[in-house]
Homo-oligomer: A and B are copies of this chain.
Amino acid sequence: VDLERIFDDLVRLETRWWNDLDTRLRRGGDVPLGTLNVLQVLDAVRPCRVQDVAQALEISVGGASQAVDRVEAKGFCVRTPNPADRRSSVLDLTDAGRDALARARPRVGEGLREFLAALPDDRVEEFGRTLAELRSALTKE
């Protein structure tokens, strides 16, 4: 098996899907895909701190802090002092943030359905299982 080829295909596929989805979102007047990812984390993880965003997106804490800055500057979330630990803040979606999330999410779904239409359902499932296993194998290191 040619592992370098697998890695190359993984990276390029991710690049193309990311850029294509991001372009769709921007053209449709929605938030960029990076912003959407943050909104999804804020919606799914509660309570949510900067650290939780970093972990969910597999990026550095510094990067997550800056990403939250941008989302907050657009009025999509607020930092509230954390009563349990004053070193951190709790991040909460605003109504505008929830609206942006609700508008953008379906567009991503559309794109993904098109991308994966090339594959029969059982292989899509298998693909998802494999990705999940490879990812969970990593976090155990």
Which of B15, B58, B133 lies in contact with A119, CB distance below 8 A? B133
Interface size on A, residues (CB 8 A): 45
Residues in chain B near residue A6, CB distance under 8 A: 112, 116, 124, 127-128, 131
Q: Let me know if A5 and B57 touch, CB within 8 A.
A: no
User: Can you list, as one digit per residue, whether each of A98-141 has a CB less than 8 Å from chain B (1) or not (0)?
Assistant: 00000001001100110110110101111110111111011000
Residues in chain B near residue A119, CB distance under 8 A: 130, 133-134
Q: Let me know if B112 and A16 touch, CB within 8 A.
A: no
CB nearest to A138 among chain B residues: B16
User: Can you list, as one digit per residue, whether each of A1-32 has a CB less than 8 Å from chain B (1) or not (0)?
Assistant: 11111110111111111110000000000000
Does A45 reach chain B (CB closer than 8 Å)?
A: no
CB within 8 Å of B: which residues of A?
Answer: 1-7, 9-19, 57-59, 105, 108-109, 112-113, 115-116, 118-119, 121, 123-128, 130-135, 137-138
